[in-house]
């Protein structure tokens, strides 16, 4: 039943699917190949999203001839994972439904066929094969649906046992490919969660306003891009730089919230926030947390070696530490603090220029000055 040519195509698809980086392209590939391999008119893919399945993509050779690119026409909609619809039923029961004619579904079946698309676009759905996509733990990933199987004379036929076998292969390799395509995104989000919750915790100590934290993130990531680094990194930089003062969680209130100047002993304790931040964030496998630790430890080091805690000098200081050293000082000077008013931008810039080669890396300072108009846009946008 399955021809040699088909076997080969299936294998090629198995190799191919592992190389699709974005979910959207992957789904389109699966739908297009499904149509070819199953010799049917259409294929649709639903992806599980909480308690429902989202209709993500449909490809249909007949409708396409009539309507053009279907992606512009059919938008994402959702179905509950329940008995009512065909796809919802397949998702709920994790069962394959091989229906010869959707208009002949018996009344005593729990599910029914929704014919809106047929009505609107004057199409006739007839045979339909609907399969759940399950991951390695047999959890639902989504639903794959094939529409209108054709024979060599282009007559609509039922899907066969052989088609079910190919469908099983397609849904198996698609399930793991889809999960993979979402993997990096999910993992990234979960690490963002660590940073986010630490930031929320620190806000309850009145450490910094969330506006200060946001500005530092925006300034630092802008500067990072300006210096010619990739924009993917820039997103990590945004989050990591926001962690620079997380170690202040461990500084006693009497020092952290002292309105007047600190004594030498108190300053010593305050400077510990760099080391405490280092401890809170140490030993992570996540590049985001790792970079956060680096910035927590190094954002008070100075280019001329007079900073703390390790008196690092020049390029011994991690790049991100040098960037945040500058954006942190710029933000402190240009904002109101309990002990000082907000300085005007001209004054801030002239103070910062004074520190070229002393506090600040001259190259980073140049980039900063070059990008001043955008810096000031952020300043206005996230003003206290």
H/E stretch holding 143: strand 140-150
Instruction: Please choose, out of 150-158, 222-230, 274-282, 364-372, the segment that lies near a copy of itself by the rule CB under 8 A.
Output: 274-282
- Comparing CB distances to a copy of itself, the nearer of 93 and 279 is 279
Of the residues 112, 226, 279, 356, which one makes contact with a copy of itself according to CB under 8 A: 279
Residues 323/299, Cβ–Cβ less than 8 Å:
no
Exactly one of 14, 211, 234, 329 binds a copy of itself (CB under 8 A); which one? 14
Cα separation of 60 and 63, whole Å? 5
Which range, of 37-45, 109-117, 248-256, 374-382, touches a copy of itself by CB under 8 A? 248-256
Minimum distance, C-beta of residue 322 to a copy of itself, in the bound complex (Å): 25
Q: How far apart are CA 117 and CA 238, in angstroms?
A: 45
Binder among 116, 138, 151, 154 for a copy of itself (CB under 8 A): 138
Residue in 296, 297, 294, 288 with CA at minimum distance from that of residue 232: 288
CB of 177 to a copy of itself, least distance (A): 6
Instruction: Choose between 112 and 179: whose C-beta lies nearer to a copy of itself.
Output: 179
- Asked if residue 94 lies in contact with residue 48, where contact means CB atoms within 8 angstroms, the answer is no
- Measure the CA–CA gap between 215 and 221, rounded to whole angstroms: 10
Binding residues among 165-194 for a copy of itself as defined by CB under 8 A: 168-169, 172-173, 175-177, 179-181, 183-184, 186-187, 190-191, 193-194
Calpha distance 133→147 (Å, rounded): 17
Q: Which is nearer to a copy of itself, 135 or 233 (CB)?
A: 135
Q: Is residue 319 close enough to count as binding a copy of itself by CB under 8 A?
A: no
Size of the site for a copy of itself (CB under 8 A): 58
Q: Are 170 and 129 in contact (CB under 8 A)?
A: no
Give the Cα-Cα-Cα angle 23, 40, 135 (nearest 5 degrees).
40
Judged by CB under 8 A, the chain residues 46 through 105 that form the site for a copy of itself are none
Dist CA 156 CA 23 (whole Å): 31
Rule CB under 8 A: say whether 333 interacts with a copy of itself: no
């Amino acid at each position: 039943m399955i021809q040699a040519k088909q076997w080969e195509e299936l294998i090629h698809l198995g190799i191919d699917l592992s190389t699709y980086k974005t979910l959207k392209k992957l789904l389109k590939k699966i739908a297009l190949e499904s149509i070819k391999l199953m010799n049917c008119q259409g294929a649709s893919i639903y992806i599980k999203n909480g308690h429902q399945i989202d209709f993500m993509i449909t490809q249909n050779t007949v409708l396409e001839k009539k309507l053009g690119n279907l992606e512009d026409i059919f938008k994402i909609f959702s179905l509950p994972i329940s008995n009512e619809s065909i796809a919802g039923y397949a998702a709920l029961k994790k069962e394959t439904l091989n229906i010869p004619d959707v208009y002949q579904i018996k009344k005593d079946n729990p599910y029914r066929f929704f014919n809106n698309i047929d009505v609107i676009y004057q199409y006739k759905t007839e045979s339909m094969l609907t399969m759940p996509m399950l991951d390695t733990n047999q959890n639902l990933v989504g639903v794959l649906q094939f529409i209108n199987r054709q024979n060599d004379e282009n007559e609509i036929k039922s899907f066969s046992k052989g088609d079910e076998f190919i469908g099983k292969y397609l849904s198996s390799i698609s399930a793991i490919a889809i999960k993979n395509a979402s993997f990096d995104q999910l993992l990234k989000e979960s690490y963002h969660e660590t940073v986010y919750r630490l930031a929320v915790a620190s806000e309850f100590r009145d450490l910094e306003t969330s506006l200060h934290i946001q500005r530092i993130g925006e300034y630092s990531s802008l500067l990072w891009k300006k210096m010619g680094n990739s924009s993917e990194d820039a997103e990590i930089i945004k989050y990591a730089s926001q962690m620079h003062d997380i170690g202040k969680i461990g500084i006693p209130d009497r020092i952290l919230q002292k309105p007047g100047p600190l004594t030498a002993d108190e300053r010593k304790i305050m400077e510990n926030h760099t080391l405490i931040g280092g401890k809170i964030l140490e030993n992570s496998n996540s590049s985001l947390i790792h970079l956060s630790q680096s910035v927590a430890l190094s954002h008070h080091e100075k280019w001329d070696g007079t900073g703390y805690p390790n008196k690092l000098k020049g390029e011994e200081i991690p790049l991100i530490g040098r960037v945040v050293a500058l954006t942190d000082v710029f933000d402190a000077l240009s904002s109101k603090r309990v002990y000082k008013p907000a300085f005007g931008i001209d004054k801030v810039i002239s103070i910062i220029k004074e520190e070229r080669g002393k506090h600040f890396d001259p190259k980073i300072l140049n980039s900063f000055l070059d990008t001043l108009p955008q810096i000031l846009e952020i300043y206005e946008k996230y003003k206290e």
